[in-house]
Amino acid sequence: MLKGKTMIVYLPLKPEMAKLNNLPVKLPILAEDLPLAIDRDKIDLEVILRGLKAQYLNEPDDYYGSYLQFYCYEAFKKALGDNELERALGFLEDAAKISRDYRYHFYLGLYYKQTGNYQLCEIELKRSVEMNPDFYVGLYEIGRLLQSNGDYEEAANYFLQSIEKSGGNFSLPFLGIVDVFISSGEYGQAMEIMNRIPRSFPLYPEILLRKGVSLNELQRFGEAEKVFDECIAIENRWQCFYNRSFSRSRQGKLWDSLEDLRRAYKISGEIDVLYEEAIAEKNLGLLDEALEHCEEYYFHTGDDKALFLLVKILDMLGRYEEALKYLEKGDYSELKNTILFHRDLEKGKAISGLVFDNPISQAAYLSTLASISKGTISREAGGLVKRGRLDIEALINHLLKFDISGMRQRVTSFQRGTIPKSARIVSLKEVGIYVSVLKTLLDFPSPSDLLSYSMAFLISGLGTTTAAFRILLHILRWRRSGMAFNLEFFLDEYLEEIRDLDFQLGLRIARLLEEGPIDIDTIGESGIEDLEGFVLSLLSALEKGTIDQLDTNDENLKEYLKLLI
């Protein structure tokens, strides 16, 4: 049909297709667009809009006007989703030329939300539900806006109204209620609601994700891991891998945690995941991988927390000049002094006049200066340090000298280039081997740090082992600094690090402050049977001043204890 200068063709649609897509059974199409509409399973939005606009301009009526308005809103949503704000507003104004109904104010509210004008957003959304009190989607969006503003009680009220108006058939406000409790830190309340939601709920993976996050916040990491397992079995979501990584790391499952982060990044490409991946790799002594990922994150974000991690990794790698280059700009005097100290110490000397805000670092620095002046500093590293870096191959060869079956099998796997699938608990004899190597590297702070991570991964793979090795290193450095031991001060410095590696060990150590350290007689009666027991007994004896009475059957551990007296 010729309408003015515009040729419009009416394309007949099957009633079921027309109903499904909210189209008229005789769809007006511009003649030039006809090839784009014939024999197509789906007609492009632009083709539909051009035809409906031409029809409405030639013969304005409510029938075609209602379809045109609907598709103006559809085009608005698409443009808004693509962040084409000016184009989106144009579609909205086209809809307004037909009528300014409740939908117009609703979508205008969403436009203001995307542009950051939350005050006008709230006004328009509320105007929308005033015009249509049963508009449950509008009530839900108001709830979301209020939640983002921290008005949790009012947000919950709107979510409940949305559920009521939809007859419980709209799923999103159920998630909104859960999110309100999570956002306000009421994880127990959130769990009560989620535990009542059946598996048939349309957004059940979303519920599982939130349940896992809540369990993590409640420090129920084992339960959280199982919930994320269930979620991943339904849907391969990167957020589940990311949050399960946290559950696993807090249980000391360091390699499994890293694998989850790698999966999360592969699926999402989210740059923030790379930072967490770099930390996880550093905790396993995988410094080359950690450096690569930390650098990539830092170059994208310029985040100071990544700078500190980056410099720490370079320090452990013995790449001091590169570390110093990163610190040329900005006020990083403490960190810069640490790198300068370590760089010169590798050469058997130390710069005088460095000042550290951290009292432990300052005491260690002054003690080292005194050792250098007396000529008592050791330059022997048992062949384990090469160009300022711990030689992992030499460490592996050293560990294979010991006939400890479980340890030998695990270390042999690494020697062959294979990472063992399972972790293992270390014996006190193996802890003794660690401290014997640590003694050799005491005057090499950067390789000593790497040793605590790498050897724990090589012989164990458990976060408990890494945490314990870090504690033994920190204690020895504390003692060599000449400072009197204080458990509260020690935990202020290192408890967060310990909890990140094994949360339960961190809790048990923290209880030494709350309940008091273990008496030396109790230690003697019960004995020291494992690594955790040794660490708790050691910290207790140091705090009580009974370290000279602490004993063990392992000769290497005996020598370690002598260094603390």
DSSP conformation letters of 197-258: S-TTSTTHHHHHHHHHHHHHHTT-HHHHHHHHHHHHHH---HHHHHHHHHHHHHTTBHHHHH
Question: Can you tell me the distance from the alpha carbon of 186 to that of 175, in angstroms, rounded to the nearest whole number?
Answer: 14
Q: What is the pLDDT of residue 2?
A: 46
What pTM was estimated for this model as a whole? 0.88
Nearest to 265 by CA among 293, 306, 285: 293
187-196 vs 172-183: helix crossing angle, rounded to 10: 160
Question: Can you tell me the distance from the alpha carbon of 170 to that of 135, in angstroms, rounded to the nearest whole number?
Answer: 11
Question: Can you tell me the distance from the alpha carbon of 208 to that of 224, in angstroms, rounded to the nearest whole number?
Answer: 9
* Beta carbons within 10 angstroms of residue 506's beta carbon: 20
State both tokens at 268: 């999402």
Whether the CB-CB separation of 415 and 317 falls below 8 Å is answered with no
Nearest to 138 by CA among 112, 107, 169: 107
Single-letter amino acid code for the residue at 109: G
C-alpha distances (whole Å) from 278 to each of 20, 168, 260, 542 are 49, 44, 13, 34
Question: Can you tell me the distance from the alpha carbon of 511 to that of 455, in angstroms, rounded to the nearest whole number?
Answer: 28
- Tokens 């037909």 — which residue? 98
One pLDDT digit (tens) per residue for the chain, 565 residues: 444 557 888 888 888 888 888 989 998 989 887 887 776 667 889 888 998 999 998 888 999 999 999 999 999 999 999 999 999 999 999 999 999 999 999 999 999 999 999 999 999 999 999 999 999 999 999 999 999 999 999 999 999 999 999 999 999 999 999 999 999 999 999 999 999 999 999 999 999 999 999 999 999 999 999 999 999 999 999 999 999 999 999 999 999 999 999 999 999 999 999 999 999 999 999 999 999 999 999 999 999 999 999 999 999 999 999 999 999 988 899 999 999 999 988 887 878 889 998 888 888 888 888 878 776 666 666 789 888 899 999 999 999 999 998 999 999 999 999 999 899 999 999 999 999 999 999 888 999 999 999 999 999 999 999 999 999 999 999 998 888 999 999 999 999 999 999 999 999 999 999 999 999 999 988 889 899 999 999 999 999 999 999 999 999 999 999 999 8
Question: Can you tell me the distance from the alpha carbon of 109 to that of 140, in angstroms, rounded to the nearest whole number?
Answer: 13
Residue/partner pairs of 370-376 with CB below 8 Å, 24 or more apart: 371/443, 372/348
User: 473-494 b/e with 16+ CB inside 10 Å = b?
Assistant: bbbbbbbbbebebebeebbeeb
Does residue 101 sit in helix, strand or coil?
A: coil
Q: Is 456 exposed, middle or buried (0-12, 13-18, 19+ CB in 10 A)?
A: buried
Domain ranges of the chain: 342-377, 382-563
Whether the CB-CB separation of 239 and 227 falls below 8 Å is answered with no
State both tokens at 527: 């004995």
| Number of residues assigned to the chain | 565
Question: Can you tell me the distance from the alpha carbon of 555 to that of 432, in angstroms, rounded to the nearest whole number?
Answer: 7
Residues of the chain by 3-state class (helix, strand, coil), percent to 5: 70, 5, 25
C-alpha distances (whole Å) from 209 to each of 141, 178, 201, 217, 257 are 21, 11, 14, 13, 17
Question: Can you tell me the distance from the alpha carbon of 73 to that of 56, in angstroms, rounded to the nearest whole number?
Answer: 16
Q: What is the pLDDT of residue 33?
A: 78
Question: Can you tell me the distance from the alpha carbon of 324 to that of 335, in angstroms, rounded to the nearest whole number?
Answer: 9
Question: Can you tell me the distance from the alpha carbon of 279 to that of 219, in angstroms, rounded to the nearest whole number?
Answer: 20
